[in-house]
Amino acid sequence: MSVLFENACAVLMDEKNTVLEGAFVAVEGDKISYVGTDRPQGTFDQVIDAAGKVLMPGLVNAHTHVPMTLMRGYGDGNNLQDWLTKFIFPVEDKWDCRAIHSATALGLAEMIMSGTTCLADMYMFCDEICQEVAAAGINANIARGVTAFDPAADFSTWTSCVETRELVDKWHGYNNGQIRIDACLHGEYTSFSAPQLWDSVAQYAKEKGLGMHIHISETKTEHEECVSRWGMTPVQVMEKHGLWDVRAIAAHCVWTTQDDWAIMAEHGVSAIHNPCSNLKLGSGVAPVIGMRKAGINVALGTDGVSSNNTTDLFEDMKIAAMLQNGVEHDPLALLPSDALRMATVNGAKALGRNTGRIAVGCDADLILVDFDHINLMPRHDVISNLVYAAHGCDVSMNMCRGKVIYKDGEFLTIDIDRVKHEVKEYALPLLFG
């Protein structure tokens, strides 16, 4: 299958943040095969006229928990402890495979329609999540969250570890890399009883060549309790246990220190900034400027829908851009182009993927944003409009790995009416009935 975009205003996300007017972008199979202002040779199975639209790399949502879409707004207005123990945990106990399927499909649909082409998920029931990802056509790094409150937990028999190994065997590398499995610790604060697992998980990741996904220093309490337990911050503890010896994504990093940043930069650990979640839950404002200056790759995530409460990454991108300016009292603290890089090319780097840019050889993960919408007029600065003025609903097409999966409000890989019906008739009564 080959596709040609013509008449595009293409935002390449190269090092110069080039915006190429009158661009032709060709796709061959699942890769971008041509970028330029001259029409490429040859014929194409499909020609897409991008006049009036901006063609850009799809967004990378580098930290989320897709099935939690069904908990949107559930228990909002309670303190964190009550919210978790009285609302979220009791519901999570009720999941079954069928409910996970429909919840995941609904969550993926929301991401796809708002321009995400790649995500990093951490949750449970990951085989079911992989099945839905495979069917939807979106790219994903999937991680089974490993927690352990039992000091005897052992990597060879501990359920979440066993599931991780099964996932790797079944799904890692699926469809030429559409799905990858990351190794995972949920966090220090949910596994400190069994630190032997940390070594095992790190060792396993190295053996299998996997990435690592972990929550780090999201809240002040989590950070400080770790320091009082070990005399070290979460970043430092995990360094000692080898979790940073592979490509790793550290979600949140709100309370990380300068010393932590040096460790993260040295090991190439990416920080995943989740501004909506951190603000809404009262966790704080992550030190994005400091981390960037320390040389850390900072990418962007929405976190789960129960703590955001959407997965429209355009919104997190805008808030990320504005928030640092506001708290630093500097209108140039984080430029629109910086925020756009966080949501594209930095996310790709964090997830170990060849996406997030429009360049020959990259995965053909592309979206069209309709600049004929009133909120995007006039167009003095394409990147500024994308970051500060665009919403997810301005996305008119989503292509993942060369395949159009969403176009003009229609899902081409998800039977959205069936999903809505399943959510309403089965999953919601199961979880909340």
Taking CB under 8 A as the criterion, which residues in 343-402 touch its own copies? 374-381, 384-385, 388-389, 391-393
Can you read off the two tokens belonging to residue 338? 């910086």
Question: Can you say whether the dihedral through the CA atoms of 119, 238, 307, 277 is positive or negative?
Answer: negative
DSSP string, 168-211: HHHHTTHHHHTEEEEEEEEEGGGTTT-HHHHHHHHHHHHHHT--
Q: Whole-number minimum distance, CB 414 to its own copies, in Å?
A: 10
Q: Whole-number minimum distance, CB 205 to its own copies, in Å?
A: 32
Q: Is 138 in the site for its own copies (CB under 8 A)?
A: no
Can you read off the two tokens belonging to residue 111? 């991401």
Residue closest to 146 by CA, chosen among 129, 168, 164: 164
3-class SS letters over 111-141: HHHCCEEEEEEEECCHHHHHHHHHHHCCEEE
Contact present, 243 and 224 (Cβ < 8 Å): no
Q: Is 71 in the site for its own copies (CB under 8 A)?
A: yes
What is the C-alpha separation between 270 and 272, in angstroms, rounded? 6
Q: Is 228 in the site for its own copies (CB under 8 A)?
A: no
Residue 152: Cβ-neighbour burial (10 angstroms; 0-12, 13-18, 19+): exposed
Binds its own copies (CB under 8 A): choice among 279, 289, 359, 430: 279
Binds its own copies (CB under 8 A): choice among 16, 156, 329, 361: 329
* Cβ atoms < 10 Å from Cβ of 260: 28
Q: Which is nearer to its own copies, 195 or 336 (CB)?
A: 336
> How are the residues of the chain apportioned to helix, strand and coil, as percentages rounded to the nearest 5?
45, 25, 35
Q: Which is nearer to its own copies, 187 or 336 (CB)?
A: 336
Q: Is 77 in the site for its own copies (CB under 8 A)?
A: yes
Q: Is 408 in the site for its own copies (CB under 8 A)?
A: no
What is the C-alpha separation between 411 and 408, in angstroms, rounded? 9
Q: Is 86 in the site for its own copies (CB under 8 A)?
A: no
How remote is the C-alpha of 56 from its chain's centroid? Answer: 17
Q: Is 89 in the site for its own copies (CB under 8 A)?
A: no
Q: Which is nearer to its own copies, 270 or 324 (CB)?
A: 324
Q: Which is nearer to its own copies, 39 or 379 (CB)?
A: 379
Binds its own copies (CB under 8 A): choice among 333, 342, 358, 399: 333
Binds its own copies (CB under 8 A): choice among 92, 166, 328, 370: 328
Q: Segment near its own copies (CB under 8 A), from 73-81, 137-145, 223-231, 293-301?
A: 73-81
Q: Is 76 in the site for its own copies (CB under 8 A)?
A: yes
Q: Is 430 in the site for its own copies (CB under 8 A)?
A: no
Q: Is 319 in the site for its own copies (CB under 8 A)?
A: yes
In the block, residue with structure tokens 């780097």: 349
Residue 105-124 contact track with its own copies, rule CB under 8 A, x = bound: -x--xx--xx----------
Q: Whole-number minimum distance, CB 64 to its own copies, in Å?
A: 14
Per CB under 8 A, contacts with its own copies among 156-175 are none
Q: Is 308 in the site for its own copies (CB under 8 A)?
A: yes
DSSP string, 62-100: EEE-GGGGGGTTTTTTS-HHHIIIIIIHHHHTT--HHHH
One-letter amino acid at 47 equals V
* Cβ atoms < 10 Å from Cβ of 172: 18
Binds its own copies (CB under 8 A): choice among 115, 137, 195, 336: 336
Q: Is 17 in the site for its own copies (CB under 8 A)?
A: no
Q: Segment near its own copies (CB under 8 A), from 36-44, 147-155, 183-191, 331-339?
A: 331-339
Q: Which is nearer to its own copies, 7 or 203 (CB)?
A: 7
